[in-house]
Chains A and B, each alone.
Chain A
């Protein structure tokens, strides 16, 4: 059993004030059910969660724990069966598809496991794409900062096929940060990378939080990756099982072990 001091159970609501400026994303009584009747699958069961601004949060959990579903709902990629999600104070349930799309474009960034760069565009074009879609001009200083921080200034005119996996993911990180979003979601960002490239990408995300005040939410099953985060939320069976603040690798491994033992 993990020490009780490091655990917050789902039974008691998260206490942070949702209207407070310090919260980037908040979920209230968030549920997602697939199917109906006896065959219904409850992927999420009334989850309450506040993601603080300027923090690096990790969401962990075994397959089927609901972590992908939670990510989809928090990022406005899917609609909840019950409950609400706010991004930057904006209630998502009230938004139509176009408004939701604009919100993703302007206030959310994504880093995917398989990079998902558009193959026909150069690195620079890929990075600018969210801005182009919005018809916005990049903030020059921020743009230069992002390019410099991900270290791909010399590869900007290359297409994804001419870049290594690590370089592609760094471009993807730059794309996620270019709009200076309220929150950037990273879904297993090191899943397709070797350990050196993976560590590099984690350092980029960490730096974006530490030095540029960005908010990052990373979904991972890798305790070593989660150890870079300020906070680790662990899901099991559609509920938050553990909520660890700045845990070390050992605490994470212990929590993972307790989660799988109780599952």
Chain B
């Protein structure tokens, strides 16, 4: 009973100390949940084009120019890439937004309620639009057509498109009314022979795309996209988990240090070690549970909002909720395991100890020995491409975490400059608890390292195209055919031909022969209407769009880590200020002004952030080197120092500004408090 009561009492009294730690857990969970939701929405964006034709469609015909005659629609299912805008009953709201128009045909849409449109003035809405606009069969809906005019259509019922999630359905006549005469494309289904006949019947004015081949290629591409997406999501999860773990660990280490006497008192009056442990464990778990739930709710809400903003229907499912909760609890357990175990080790006699200003911590130098195998492991790992770089990065990170407490005093003396008494005290305080400072800096280290790598990647991406020798020839055509592929791979000097998409072929050649191959290819191009040689601009555009997507995502992860990291810095500063109330009172009593005390706390926050920035730059440089090997030496002049410097400065400024609040609170301590003879 006592255990339970004590726990709940502590939770209430201790909440003001641990809430920032809880916030770090909640934020980490929220980022993972929201990130996963948004990533899945963007995956939908990647996958959807590959599936934009209903299952069973073998090919698509489109007009070379203008539109297909209405007659062509009889060959298959008419479809359109163009959109119309639905208006609400008040004629103004555009809540339902843009909709693609599908042919009212069972092969294109599935009926939900009512009937399929029967005439040119009828339309079937997707369930989502019908719900948003509050319309059902028999109602009228104003629709802004392709040419900008508004026509009123009668709602015949609701449908769900067989591809995508939204879209309206109309007859061929209805489509012409909404989108203009003719149709954009006709989706064919049937055997290859039937398809070939149908296309031949339409003559030269049409272009045929073999959708089966295209789908295979696109899903292969989408698969590659998913691979990258999975990697990014894992990175996000790991970074969030690590950042959150270290912040919550620090919170509990500091709180546990402050409650040593309380724990000793419990031990002195007869509590066993496991009972003491339970008091703190229950407290940690309660905080973890509350923070995880808040994190899941916040993350799901934010992810849904962002996803909707991007135009996709996002709904968090049970799996994601469970993942978020489990992540939060794992982070809590991992972070509080050490301090909770440590607090129970306190000797009962400590309850009787005299109140004294908290001591200085000295980490063991044995850590150097632990680091050696990690560094060797990392050095070996990076020899293996990609996977090795990841393993190497993780090992280097672990080495830094292990080495942190020993490095902190050295780095602290570098990053906290200045000669005055305030600078001197700040320097001493930053390195006073090396383990705590090291733990505090971890999330900032991760953030800065990621940000540095990302900026290097961005710069590299911009310059790599120029650096790379011209060893690849690319051919673009409206539609790539097997005939083209065969002809091109038969050319002298061409090692192989890779189809890169429905309209791109990549020819691999030896660098020396690139120019000759390009000339030969140019000679073949007149055989294929619309085909052209890829230019540097094409490659750069393709390259940078892929890199931009990855760097944006990694940049977001870096930003997340920096946010959690700064939260951790402010948390540590705040807890330290509470813990050192008496010391601050002494300083005030012997002549430190409030202004000097505020500056002291602010400089400590900047010092902690500075340690993170310093180590982050080291890890970032190591990561770049690991990823790009010797190439990174070439890239050094290309790294955007301005961007890196701006990020570092921003981190320090935020730390300083954020620390003003705990600093001002700390400076309010009465100097008379120095004379009190208890530690609270």
**Residue of A68, A117, A160, A161 touching B675 (CB-CB under 8 A):** A68
- A77 B677 Cβ-Cβ under 8 A: no
Interface string of B348-359 (1 = CB under 8 A from A): 000000111111
Chain B contacts for A120, CB-based, 8 A? 360, 425, 428-429, 432
Closest chain B residue, CB of each to CB of A126 = B590
Does chain A have a CB within 8 A of B523? no
Query: In the docked arrangement, what's the CA distance between A187 and B677, Å?
Result: 10
Chain A contacts for B596, CB-based, 8 A? 133
* Interface residues in A, total, Cβ within 8 A: 40
- B429 A105 Cβ-Cβ under 8 A: no
Does chain A have a CB within 8 A of B595? yes
Number of A-B contacts (CB under 8 A): 101
Interface residues of B in 565-597 (CB under 8 A from A): 582-583, 586-596
**Residue of A71, A105, A117 touching B591 (CB-CB under 8 A):** A105
Chain A contacts for B429, CB-based, 8 A? 120
- Within the complex, what minimum Cβ distance (angstroms) separates A34 from chain B? 13
- B677 A105 Cβ-Cβ under 8 A: no
- Within the complex, what minimum Cβ distance (angstroms) separates B12 from chain A? 26
Query: In the docked arrangement, what's the CA distance between A185 and B317, Å?
Result: 68
**Residue of B360, B425, B593, B677 touching A101 (CB-CB under 8 A):** B593
- B357 A77 Cβ-Cβ under 8 A: no
Chain A contacts for B587, CB-based, 8 A? 118, 133
- A113 B677 Cβ-Cβ under 8 A: yes
Given A72-B675, A78-B670, A121-B428, answer yes or no on A114-B590 (Cβ-Cβ < 8 Å): no
- Within the complex, what minimum Cβ distance (angstroms) separates A178 from chain B? 10
**Residue of A101, A105, A110, A134 touching B674 (CB-CB under 8 A):** A110
Does chain A have a CB within 8 A of B148? no
Does chain A have a CB within 8 A of B541? no
Given A78-B670, A134-B591, answer yes or no on A114-B677 (Cβ-Cβ < 8 Å): yes
- Within the complex, what minimum Cβ distance (angstroms) separates B680 from chain A? 13
**Residue of A77, A114, A134 touching B589 (CB-CB under 8 A):** A77
Given A104-B589, A129-B590, A132-B421, answer yes or no on A116-B674 (Cβ-Cβ < 8 Å): yes
Does chain B have a CB within 8 A of A191? yes
* Most chain B beta carbons < 10 A, residue from A102, A116, A135: A116
Chain A contacts for B354, CB-based, 8 A? 114, 192
- A102 B591 Cβ-Cβ under 8 A: yes
- B590 A105 Cβ-Cβ under 8 A: yes
Closest chain B residue, CB of each to CB of A78 = B672
- B355 A114 Cβ-Cβ under 8 A: yes
Does chain B have a CB within 8 A of A13? no
- Within the complex, what minimum Cβ distance (angstroms) separates A185 from chain B? 9
Does chain A have a CB within 8 A of B424? yes
Chain A contacts for B432, CB-based, 8 A? 119-120
Does chain B have a CB within 8 A of A112? yes
Query: In the docked arrangement, what's the CA distance between A116 and B360, Å?
Result: 14
- A77 B670 Cβ-Cβ under 8 A: yes
Given A72-B672, A114-B356, A118-B586, answer yes or no on A97-B594 (Cβ-Cβ < 8 Å): yes
Closest chain A residue, CB of each to CB of B590 = A130
- B360 A118 Cβ-Cβ under 8 A: no
Does chain B have a CB within 8 A of A188? yes
Does chain A have a CB within 8 A of B620? no
Closest chain B residue, CB of each to CB of A161 = B359
Closest chain A residue, CB of each to CB of B432 = A120
**Residue of A106, A133, A187 touching B592 (CB-CB under 8 A):** A133
Closest chain B residue, CB of each to CB of A132 = B421
Chain A contacts for B357, CB-based, 8 A? 114, 116-119, 160
Chain A contacts for B592, CB-based, 8 A? 101, 105, 133
Chain B contacts for A129, CB-based, 8 A? 421, 590
Closest chain B residue, CB of each to CB of A191 = B677
Chain A contacts for B607, CB-based, 8 A? none
- B590 A161 Cβ-Cβ under 8 A: no
Query: In the docked arrangement, what's the CA distance between A133 and B639, Å?
Result: 43
Closest chain A residue, CB of each to CB of B585 = A116
Chain A contacts for B677, CB-based, 8 A? 113-114, 188, 191
- Within the complex, what minimum Cβ distance (angstroms) separates A127 from chain B? 11
Closest chain A residue, CB of each to CB of B360 = A119
- A71 B595 Cβ-Cβ under 8 A: no
Chain B interfacial positions (CB closer than 8 Å to A): 354-360, 420-421, 424-425, 428-429, 432, 582-583, 586-596, 670-672, 674-675, 677
- The 20 sampled A-B contact pairs (Cβ below 8 Å) are A72-B675, A77-B671, A78-B670, A105-B591, A114-B356, A116-B586, A119-B359, A119-B432, A120-B360, A120-B425, A121-B428, A125-B424, A129-B421, A132-B424, A133-B590, A133-B591, A133-B593, A134-B591, A135-B420, A159-B360
Chain A interfacial positions (CB closer than 8 Å to B): 68, 71-72, 75, 77-78, 97-98, 101-102, 104-106, 109-110, 112-121, 125, 129-130, 132-135, 159-161, 175, 187-188, 191-192
